[in-house]
Amino acid sequence: MVEAAGPESVAGAPAAPPDGPDASTVTQARRDPDRLAAGLRRWLVGQLGEQAAPEVVDIDRSSANGMSSETVLFDATWRGEDGPVAERLVARLEPDLDDVPVFPSYELGHQAALLRAVAELTSVPVPTVRWWEPDRSWVGAPFFVMDRVDGEVPPDVLPYTFGDNWLFAAPPEDRRALQDATVAVLAELHGIEDAAARFAFLDPSGPSAGGGTALRRHVARTRAWYEWSVRASGMRSALVEQGFARLDETWPDEGGEAVLSWGDARIGNVIYRASRPVAVLDWEMAGVGPRELDVAWLLMAHRVFQDLAAQWDLPGLPSFLRVDDVAGQYERLTGHSPRALDWYGTYAALQWGIVFLRTGHRQVAHGQVAAPDAGDDLLHHRDTLARAVDGRPWG
């Protein structure tokens, strides 16, 4: 779900509690760095010309948050028209199927186009996309290249709510500034006019499928994602299926226009400096739908981490990203009061469940954990999802 386009501050993170999240089980990348560097250099020759004599002088896996696409940080040099050029870049690669990807497809070309559109239409900070390459022969996968952005990312492993990281240590007023600035990102993204038409490539089934509304189509695609996960792993989740049933039974009023939905709208997908976003990342789940999709996802992403902290008798950050605070700030910025947040929170918790099923299946496939008796045993947020299915997503 997350790979930052710059480094984050996670030095000194505490060891994982017994049976708790472990960084070694989150990602599994098999591409050889030397072969990647050679492929990128040959590819740069095609972009810049032989006369530029490009070189990839340093390459490394991202040490940032990561559960989905493969992110490669690299430095490149070449001869420019005005002299030597040295650039710090990031390549986002489609994951190898052997690494048990989270999603059935990645549409990196859509992600690159979306980043360019957001940069053109808003002041939301996103990394500059340099190139998009659909030909997998260069590095073994389609990829796009963007500028690297430096700053701090709230860590996922261990979750920032566990303590001993820059966000946990920040003064409360700085965390509130970060929270408000992140809500402002959602408000501006949702203000893009005529989003349903402008970003129709994010809703390829069109208005005639999935029940006729953007939200119905969004949920239909999530069901298809879950069923694909079941076919790939053989593991079902009773809780996820109960979540779908609850959504069907309590479907909300969908009043209001469909907006651009970032999709994975959480602070772990933002690079910050001095509590201000300087790069908004990870658009794999982007779509078109009600504003509440992003508002609830932002809230649920924190709720999951806060509940994980509570499971280990850690205080976490209970005063951060509270429902009323986020909803109130969003209304002040947009004039829109978020509706049916219990329903959208349940939907967000359900989607988190599918992500955990996929990352859990990856752990099983790579021999990092034993296959469980039931898919629900892979859900790190099992109690959170159970509460959401019971109609209490926020506790």
Q: Is residue 8 part of a domain?
A: no
Decide if pLDDT at 10 tops 50: no
Q: Is residue 307 part of a domain?
A: yes
User: pLDDT grade, residue 73 (50/70/90)?
Assistant: very high
Q: What is the mean pLDDT of residues 338-352?
A: 98
* Residue with more model confidence, 1 or 38: 38
Looking at the annotation, which residues are catalytic? 264
196 with 307, same domain: the answer is yes
What pLDDT was estimated at residue 7?
33
Decide if pLDDT at 93 tops 60: yes
Q: Is residue 295 part of a domain?
A: yes
What pLDDT was estimated at residue 62?
57
Q: What is the rounded average pLDDT for all residues in the chain?
A: 90
Q: Is residue 12 part of a domain?
A: no
| The model's pTM | 0.91
Residue 69: domain span: 23-147
* Residue with more model confidence, 208 or 338: 338
Q: Is residue 154 part of a domain?
A: no
Cβ neighbours around 257 below 10 Å, total = 14
185 with 243, same domain: the answer is yes
Each residue's pLDDT tens digit, 156-174: 999 999 999 999 999 999 9
Tell me the CATH number at 270: 3.90.1200.10
Each residue's pLDDT tens digit, 55-66: 999 998 654 544
107 with 249, same domain: the answer is no
Instruction: Return the structure tokens found at 150.
Output: 């430096």
What pLDDT was estimated at residue 97?
78
78 with 191, same domain: the answer is no
Decide if pLDDT at 50 tops 50: yes
Each residue's pLDDT tens digit, 273-330: 999 999 999 999 999 999 999 999 999 999 999 999 999 999 999 999 999 999 999 9
What pLDDT was estimated at residue 60?
82
Tell me the CATH number at 105: 3.30.200.20
Q: Is residue 57 part of a domain?
A: yes
Alpha-carbon distance values, 366 to 63, 68, 207, 263, 318 (Å): 20, 15, 40, 28, 35
User: pLDDT grade, residue 207 (50/70/90)?
Assistant: low
Each residue's pLDDT tens digit, 348-380: 999 999 999 999 999 999 899 999 999 999 999
Q: How many domains does the chain have?
A: 2
Of 103, 118, 147, the domain-final residue: 147
173 with 243, same domain: the answer is yes
What pLDDT was estimated at residue 25?
41
User: pLDDT grade, residue 211 (50/70/90)?
Assistant: low
Decide if pLDDT at 255 tops 70: yes
* Residue with more model confidence, 210 or 35: 35
Of 122, 147, 172, the domain-final residue: 147
188 with 290, same domain: the answer is yes
167 with 304, same domain: the answer is yes
Decide if pLDDT at 1 tops 80: no
The percentage of the chain sitting over the pLDDT mark of 90, rounded to a whole number, equals 82
What pLDDT was estimated at residue 26?
45
240 with 370, same domain: the answer is yes
267 with 344, same domain: the answer is yes
166 with 283, same domain: the answer is yes
What pLDDT was estimated at residue 11?
26
Of 124, 147, 170, the domain-final residue: 147
Q: What is the mean pLDDT of residues 124-141?
A: 97
212 with 288, same domain: the answer is yes
Decide if pLDDT at 24 tops 60: no
118 with 254, same domain: the answer is no
Q: Is residue 395 part of a domain?
A: no
Q: Is residue 3 part of a domain?
A: no
